[in-house]
């Protein structure tokens, strides 16, 4: 077993925002903020069958995942990404889950 953590963040678009805008802002978020963070491993942005989205981020540890939350609140790229989402600004962690990674499998 590893210390790696998968962060699952549910995303619902704000009124009038589009998937195209979400993808573009997601790319900026990745390039200008997330890529350089300690403990970041990988990230996938997915569309769920109900039309909402989910950001799936793999971290080296829960400590890394928690530390990034503080930094994110000060980032313009993060702010632009979050501005496309319908969420409660009083509870930024609503819709976010952290799951321990037990084992990974891949093709081959």
Q: In CATH, what number does 5-88 get?
A: 3.30.70.100
pLDDT tens for each residue of the chain, 108 residues long: 579 999 999 999 999 999 999 999 999 999 999 998 999 999 999 999 999 999 999 999 999 999 987 788 888 998 899 999 997 766 666 789 999 999 999 897
SS3 per-residue string spanning 43-89:
EEEEECCCCCEEEEEEECCHHHHHHHHHHHCCCHHHHHHHCCECCCC
Q: Which residue has the tokens 């997915």?
A: 46
User: What is the pLDDT, as a whole number, of residue 74?
Assistant: 85
User: What is the pLDDT, as a whole number, of residue 92?
Assistant: 61
Give pLDDT tens digits for 78-101: 889 999 999 776 666 678 999 999
In the chain, the N- to C-terminal Cα span, in Å, equals 21
User: What is the pLDDT, as a whole number, of residue 62?
Assistant: 94
Cβ–Cβ < 8 Å for 54, 9 = yes
User: What is the pLDDT, as a whole number, of residue 1?
Assistant: 56
- Distance between alpha carbon 69 and the CA centroid of its chain, in Å? 10
* Rounded-to-integer distance, Cα 7 and Cα 93, Å: 11
User: What is the pLDDT, as a whole number, of residue 70?
Assistant: 78
Q: What is the pTM of this model?
A: 0.88
């Amino acid at each position: 077993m590893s210390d790696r953590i998968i962060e699952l963040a549910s995303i619902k678009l704000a009124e009038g925002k589009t998937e195209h805008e979400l993808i573009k802002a997601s790319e900026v978020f990745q390039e200008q903020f997330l890529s350089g963070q300690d403990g970041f491993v990988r990230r996938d942005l997915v569309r769920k069958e109900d039309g909402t989205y989910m950001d799936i981020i793999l971290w080296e540890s829960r400590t890394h995942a928690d530390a990034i939350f503080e930094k994110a609140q000060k980032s313009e790229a993060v702010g632009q990404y979050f501005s496309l989402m319908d969420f409660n600004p009083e509870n930024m962690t609503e819709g976010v889950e952290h799951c321990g990674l037990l084992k990974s499998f891949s093709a081959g």
